[in-house]
Chains A and B, each alone.
Chain A
Amino acid sequence: MAAAAVMVSSASALLAMLQEPAAELKLHALSNLNSLVHVFWPEISTSVPAIESLYEDEEFDQRQLAALVVSKVFYYLGELNDSLSYALGAGPLFDVSEDSDYANTLLARALDEYASIRSKASKATGEEEMMDPRLEVIVERMLDKCILDGKYQQAMGMAVECRRLDKLEEAITRSDNLHGALSYCINLSHQYVGHREYRCEILRCLVKIYQTLSDPDYLSICQCLMFLDEHETVANILYTLFSGGTDDTLLAYQIAFDLVENENQAFLLNVRNHLDTLCIPKSALPGAQTGNATDPSGDTQMGDDVDIMNGSPRVVDPIEEARADRLTKIRGILSGETSIQLTLQFLYSHNRSDLLILKTIKQALEMRNSVCHSATICSNAIMHAGTTVDTFLRENLEWLSRATNWAKFSATAGLGVIHRGHLQQGRALMAPYLPQGGAAGGGSPYSEGGALYALGLIHANHGEGITHFLRESLRNTSSEVVQHGACLGLGLAGLGTADEEIFEDIKNVLYTDSAVASEAAGIGLGLLMVGTATEKAGEMLAYAHDTQHEKIIRGLALGIALTVYGREEEADTLIEQMTRDQDPILRYGGMYALALAYRGTANNKAIHQLLHFAVSDVNDDVRRTAVLALGFVLYNEPEQTPRIVSLLSESYNPHVRYGAALAVGISCAGTGLNDAISLLEPLTSDVVDFVRQGALIAMAMVMIQTNESYDPRVGTFRRQLEKIVLDKHEDTMSKMGAILASGILDAGGRNVTIKLKSRSKHDKLTAVVGLAVFTQFWYWYPLTYFISLAFSPTAIIGLNSDLQMPKLEFLSNAKPSLFDYPKPTTQQTATATVKLPTAILSTYAKAKSRASKKDAEKAQEKAEAAEGKAEAPPSEDASTSMQVDGVAAEKKAPEPEPTFQILANPARVLPAQEKFIKFLESSRYEPVKGAPSGFVLLRDLRPEDAEELVLADTPSTVATNVSGAAAASPAVEEEPQPPQPFEYSP
């Protein structure tokens, strides 16, 4: 009936009723208003003061209802703050489960408010922020409701946001998929929690939950613990595991490998030492037992395990023995030696570097241009980084000998990059160049210094074996070039160890105030103290103010920046101090400090600050660095960077453009990101030479390991590089960029990528530091070699319980061509020449006329260009060529490419390929962890069968020969010495 649709036309009657003296009438009016407020809020809004006074009336028993009505009116008026405060006044009447715009908006508001108060409160613990208990109640009700409804992820997210670890714990423990929830939380804490301390708290809480589980996921626990720097607990876990069965041992190995991947040298060292203290009393006096063996900090569960295990002492010597064996293995893994050795083996055996590229570059270069000359040497080093293959050097000894002075220093250091990770033989390899036992030995200081630097590169982050020697060399020399090399080498070898003695040694060099040596000392100190936030930074800063040498100031500025690596808020005072300095070089260091302290956090404040400096500083260097630093801050969200710097990349200031290019290069390194390439493309043909240089290098970093079938622009880029190198009129700067870029593009025998984050989302300290120092090549070319620290091999290596590689096959569910090696240039140049004929195929006559010109490719290109101009329909020419291309593609199509591929252990697996990798189900082995990447420990399902191992063509044996020859021959041409290295080879 029509009457059913009757509605009141106005709320005035109800509002009038509110004025009635009788409380019942007021109540009636209020409750009706509450249900009608969505219609009549404009009318009610004029009477809000009246309702407010009802709320404030202590005697009125329905004050909360009044508050609710007022809150709703304010909500409709858009006054959310007032609305929220009245909603809080409404207490239980405010229904969190109500699915209305009003409730949702206010809840969001309440959560925001609560979260911001909580985070403020935790920041400034001194002054207690006023926390409205009613707000807390609402948030808690909300969280409880989420948990009850089974929306655990929401609950967890909210709990994290609101800093309510108790609720987080509750949500996790009550969720149906505990492991999923935990890993979700870990992700959450890494991705969205900006505050370091708080992240630690969350992780601690997670570890607590993990440990209460019956079947703890030790892999994840240890990752968390590593972030928390709780080496004792990790050591305990490892100890318990490898004291157990084979499966547990495998797990222990796997954990160790995963920890090593994060490259936290100091932490690993501590774990190892603690493991020793755990084991020694046990193996030495097994009878003494528990008392001191069980670590007091270890949780009880583990203690029990240890006890049980110790229940059968002595009698089972073989078990003890096995354990000792396992201990040495795990120590080997933790020291990084095992993984380095395996990686080395992989890189050596899978080396697919293309010497032809180098040869082309070498031939194209002018004789006297030393910049390009050393760039080529560097490019070679990068291309062969870690492969131990130095064929190119051996074949071009005479050409190599053109390097003099600092170029010689670089060339020698390059050997270090090539042999990176060759821990055992490193010193033997470099022996011909090293300072000879205190005596001058006739060696050039440049090659000596370079060799020390090379040793540092070889042992980067794993310097135990070599630091002693390096310190000796540092003390025994007075040549500043050698000091320079030794400081860098020591810094690299002792990366992040904060070793007091080394610190003193390097500091002594610093105080000699010689520009060359002290600069390196500044950087070396920084490397040594990476991420320690040491107070010595103040000392360094003071010296930077004292000294007159720009070089020293710059070295120190970078060094200071390195010390605050990853400290986030803790570094703010220092950053403030540096960025406010009068001296542009220190401000420039401040930019690096910002970059490194907030590396990979995408912290808004840091980004804001950097952008501010990028546009407002008076000094070009500072502006360039500020933009560049954005790359470091943003590398955890590579998709963001091109967007953020896109405007800067069009700046009028070439320094800013350069910075933008490198920022994209750093943060998008190894991703092959479409946006990044689009941004860099125009910059590679910038009008200013050094912008081109930066863009080329950045482009190479982005495109590393992508091939043409993945992104066709890679091919274009390769051709562009070739063109720049071959072009006689190109500027030296961009030529050098192109040479380096071709090196980076094919780095490490095409088996490495640049990765700043490990698979477990931790930052790779070495890689970040390496890239940061690498960007210094602007001032000092030898620092280019630091890029080798950022390389990580893209391999999947399966290992059995003896840490050997069994024969095994993986399935890659993707087209082989997608992730294949790029075609070697022998073909590439061929395709370049063949490509032209394909274009002509359609018009046969033209082909003939051109065939005569086929002798020189360059001439042909020119000719074609000329033809293009001369001929009437050049577009037709292009179209035919495209047609032909199309035909070629079609031709390819009929023979369908398989959609999968079988890879043999160890296999090259690109990061993008990882998701396609499967273990064959019928296989004999089963992986310990799920993710198929890096080192994977394999559980043997048929242990009774004899294992078939991969025949490792270990570089150690071959390399001795190679290196022997290599070491000998440059030695011969540089310093006519007897071929000493043969004494070292076994």
Chain B
Amino acid sequence: MDGELDEAIRKLAWLNFDCSRNELGSCVARLTELKILLTKFPSLPPTFQMTPNAVEELKFARVVYEFAVILSMEMKDQEAFERDLVQLKGFYMDTRGMIPPSPDEYPILGLNLMRLLAGNRIAEFHTELELLPLGALHHPCIKYAVELEQAFMEGTYRLINDRKAVPHESYRYFMDLLAETIRDEIADCSGQAYDHLPVNDAMEMLMFSSDQQLLEYISERQHEWEVQNCSVLFHMAKSQPRVGVHSFKLIKQSLCYAQELEQVV
């Protein structure tokens, strides 16, 4: 057992080394080896056997998975990120009280929040938030994510773009993703709001620094837009007048229910 742990620790050292040399390919291979090694530790979830060096092993495993999360982010592999994070969360949630909390816990959880925000997965974002202890909200990393979300919801996108000060280096990646998301959001809205916009205005609104970028963006993402006479036409993107929702009918119905409910009481 000890031998295995030692071996694992050695491997982690190698991994760190590789990582520092930025050899991502060998990093991934080493990480996989490590993970397999970890499955042999009986003290890890879900078995939680009380072996003599359970605490060590748990701590170690947590470090490995924290590393895996960071690595997958560096690799820009979102799927792997999510996978590793879910496994890591198991350590955070279930080993409280068994091993001291990790210093990286909140940064990483904050990172997760950022990811969700960047992916516009607001519902999951809030679920995650609910699962955090109250004290965690004051941690700068978490707080940062929460504030971003508020700004995002309010639509004060500029505020988001102005925030250049990130609490942790690793947040940059997600900030860029978030900017993309915001742009998409704005694009959607402008499609609804305007029939056409001058290219310059559109450029400004979509936070591009040059026409070129805007045109690229349109050709890549917004196939329904057209650029004519120095203005962007949105008419293609306009959705048909909505027929599905009969708002008056719905309002009437709800009022009726309310009235009846009152009578019942």
Q: Which residues of A contact B98 (CB under 8 A)?
A: 3, 6
Q: Is the CB of B86 within 8 A of A25?
A: no
Q: Is the CB of B36 within 8 A of A1?
A: no
Contact segment of A11-19, A226-234, A746-754: A11-19
Residue of chain A at shortest CB distance from B83: A16
Interface members, chain A 752-773 (any B CB < 8 Å): none
Q: Residue-by-residue, is B38-77 near A (CB-CB < 8 Å gives 1, otherwise 0)?
A: 0100000111101000000000000000000000000000
Q: Is the CB of B48 within 8 A of A3?
A: yes
Q: Counting CB contacts under 8 A, is B4 at the interface? A: no
Q: Residue-by-residue, is B73-90 near A (CB-CB < 8 Å gives 1, otherwise 0)?
A: 000000100111011011
Query: Beyond A4-B50, A13-B87, A16-B83, is A24–B36 a contact (Cβ under 8 Å)?
Result: yes
Closest chain-B Cβ to A868's Cβ sits at a distance in Å of: 60
Q: Which residues of B contact A16 (CB under 8 A)?
A: 82-84, 86-87
CA distance A10 to B91 in the complex (A): 11
Interface members, chain A 698-736 (any B CB < 8 Å): none
Q: Is the CB of A9 within 8 A of B94?
A: yes
Q: Counting CB contacts under 8 A, is A8 at the interface? A: yes
| Residue from B35, B47, B48 within 8 A of A22 (CB atoms) | B35
Q: Is the CB of A6 within 8 A of B86?
A: no
Q: Which residues of B contact A12 (CB under 8 A)?
A: 86, 89-90
Q: Which residues of A contact B48 (CB under 8 A)?
A: 3, 6-8
- A3-B97, A16-B83 are known; give 14 further A-B pairs, CB within 8 A: A3-B50, A4-B50, A6-B48, A6-B95, A8-B45, A8-B46, A8-B48, A9-B93, A12-B90, A13-B90, A20-B35, A20-B83, A32-B46, A35-B46
Interface members, chain A 4-58 (any B CB < 8 Å): 4, 6-17, 19-22, 24-25, 28, 32, 35-36
Closest chain-A Cβ to B47's Cβ sits at a distance in Å of: 8
Q: Is the CB of A13 within 8 A of B35?
A: no
Q: Is the CB of A19 within 8 A of B79?
A: yes
Q: Is the CB of A8 within 8 A of B90?
A: yes
Q: Which residues of A contact B47 (CB under 8 A)?
A: 32
CA distance A14 to B83 in the complex (A): 10
A-B contact pairs, 6 of them (CB 8 A): A6-B48, A8-B90, A9-B90, A14-B46, A20-B32, A21-B32
Q: Counting CB contacts under 8 A, is A951 at the interface? A: no
Interface members, chain B 1-52 (any A CB < 8 Å): 32, 35-36, 39, 45-48, 50
Closest chain-B Cβ to A33's Cβ sits at a distance in Å of: 9
Closest chain-A Cβ to B94's Cβ sits at a distance in Å of: 5
| Residue from B35, B79, B82, B94 within 8 A of A6 (CB atoms) | B94
CA distance A6 to B50 in the complex (A): 10
CA distance A452 to B173 in the complex (A): 112
Q: Counting CB contacts under 8 A, is A872 at the interface? A: no
CA distance A9 to B89 in the complex (A): 10
Interface members, chain A 425-484 (any B CB < 8 Å): none
**Best-buried of B35, B83, B84, B95 by chain A (most CB within 10 Å):** B83
Q: Which residues of A contact B94 (CB under 8 A)?
A: 6-9
CA distance A204 to B4 in the complex (A): 66
Q: Residue-by-residue, is A882-919 near B (CB-CB < 8 Å gives 1, otherwise 0)?
A: 00000000000000000000000000000000000000
| Residue from B36, B39, B86 within 8 A of A13 (CB atoms) | B86
Residue of chain A at shortest CB distance from B28: A21
CA distance A2 to B98 in the complex (A): 9
Interface size class of B (residues with CB under 8 A): 20 to 34
| Residue from B39, B46, B97 within 8 A of A24 (CB atoms) | B39
Q: Which residues of B contact A21 (CB under 8 A)?
A: 32
Residue of chain B at shortest CB distance from A39: B46
Q: Is the CB of B90 within 8 A of A10?
A: yes
Residue of chain A at shortest CB distance from B84: A16
Q: Is the CB of B50 within 8 A of A1?
A: yes
Interface size class of A (residues with CB under 8 A): 20 to 34
Q: Which residues of A contact B87 (CB under 8 A)?
A: 13, 16-17
Closest chain-B Cβ to A768's Cβ sits at a distance in Å of: 66
**Best-buried of B32, B45, B47 by chain A (most CB within 10 Å):** B45
Q: Which residues of B contact A4 (CB under 8 A)?
A: 50
Q: Is the CB of B39 within 8 A of A28?
A: yes
Q: Is the CB of A2 within 8 A of B97?
A: yes
Residue of chain A at shortest CB distance from B40: A28
CA distance A133 to B93 in the complex (A): 46
Q: Which residues of B contact A20 (CB under 8 A)?
A: 32, 35, 83
What 4 pairs across the A-B complex have the smallest Cβ distances?
A13-B90, A16-B86, A28-B39, A8-B46
| Residue from A2, A15, A25 within 8 A of B35 (CB atoms) | A25
Residue of chain A at shortest CB distance from B37: A24
Q: Which residues of B contact A14 (CB under 8 A)?
A: 46
Q: Which residues of B contact A11 (CB under 8 A)?
A: 46
Q: Which residues of B contact A8 (CB under 8 A)?
A: 45-46, 48, 90, 94
Q: Is the CB of A25 within 8 A of B39?
A: yes
CA distance A9 to B50 in the complex (A): 18
Q: Which residues of A contact B39 (CB under 8 A)?
A: 24-25, 28
Q: Residue-by-residue, is A299-342 near B (CB-CB < 8 Å gives 1, otherwise 0)?
A: 00000000000000000000000000000000000000000000
Closest chain-A Cβ to B124's Cβ sits at a distance in Å of: 12
CA distance A1 to B48 in the complex (A): 12
Q: Which residues of B contact A35 (CB under 8 A)?
A: 46
| Residue from B36, B46, B90, B95 within 8 A of A25 (CB atoms) | B36
Closest chain-B Cβ to A942's Cβ sits at a distance in Å of: 78
Closest chain-A Cβ to B75's Cβ sits at a distance in Å of: 13
CA distance A8 to B86 in the complex (A): 13
Residue of chain B at shortest CB distance from A40: B46
CA distance A618 to B83 in the complex (A): 71
Q: Which residues of B contact A22 (CB under 8 A)?
A: 32, 35-36
Q: Which residues of B contact A24 (CB under 8 A)?
A: 36, 39
**Best-buried of B39, B48, B93 by chain A (most CB within 10 Å):** B39
Residue of chain A at shortest CB distance from B96: A6
Q: Which residues of B contact A32 (CB under 8 A)?
A: 46-47
Closest chain-A Cβ to B122's Cβ sits at a distance in Å of: 20
| Residue from B36, B46, B83, B97 within 8 A of A36 (CB atoms) | B46
Closest chain-A Cβ to B89's Cβ sits at a distance in Å of: 7
Q: Is the CB of B45 within 8 A of A13?
A: yes
Closest chain-A Cβ to B43's Cβ sits at a distance in Å of: 10
Closest chain-B Cβ to A52's Cβ sits at a distance in Å of: 19
Closest chain-B Cβ to A498's Cβ sits at a distance in Å of: 75
Closest chain-B Cβ to A19's Cβ sits at a distance in Å of: 5
Interface members, chain A 157-185 (any B CB < 8 Å): none
Closest chain-B Cβ to A580's Cβ sits at a distance in Å of: 55
Residue of chain A at shortest CB distance from B90: A13
Q: Is the CB of A13 within 8 A of B32?
A: no
CA distance A1 to B98 in the complex (A): 11
CA distance A874 to B182 in the complex (A): 99
Closest chain-B Cβ to A24's Cβ sits at a distance in Å of: 5
Closest chain-B Cβ to A23's Cβ sits at a distance in Å of: 9
Closest chain-B Cβ to A18's Cβ sits at a distance in Å of: 9
**Best-buried of B32, B36, B46, B79 by chain A (most CB within 10 Å):** B46
Q: Which residues of A contact B97 (CB under 8 A)?
A: 2-3
Closest chain-A Cβ to B141's Cβ sits at a distance in Å of: 22
CA distance A355 to B245 in the complex (A): 94
CA distance A4 to B48 in the complex (A): 8
Q: Is the CB of A19 within 8 A of B90?
A: no
Closest chain-B Cβ to A841's Cβ sits at a distance in Å of: 71
CA distance A7 to B46 in the complex (A): 7
**Best-buried of A6, A17, A28, A36 by chain B (most CB within 10 Å):** A6
Q: Which residues of A contact B93 (CB under 8 A)?
A: 9-10
Residue of chain A at shortest CB distance from B48: A6
Closest chain-B Cβ to A829's Cβ sits at a distance in Å of: 74
Residue of chain B at shortest CB distance from A15: B86
CA distance A250 to B104 in the complex (A): 96
Closest chain-A Cβ to B144's Cβ sits at a distance in Å of: 25
Q: Which residues of B contact A25 (CB under 8 A)?
A: 32, 35-36, 39
CA distance A16 to B90 in the complex (A): 11
| Residue from A1, A10, A19 within 8 A of B83 (CB atoms) | A19
CA distance A12 to B95 in the complex (A): 15
Residue of chain A at shortest CB distance from B31: A22
Q: Which residues of A contact B95 (CB under 8 A)?
A: 6
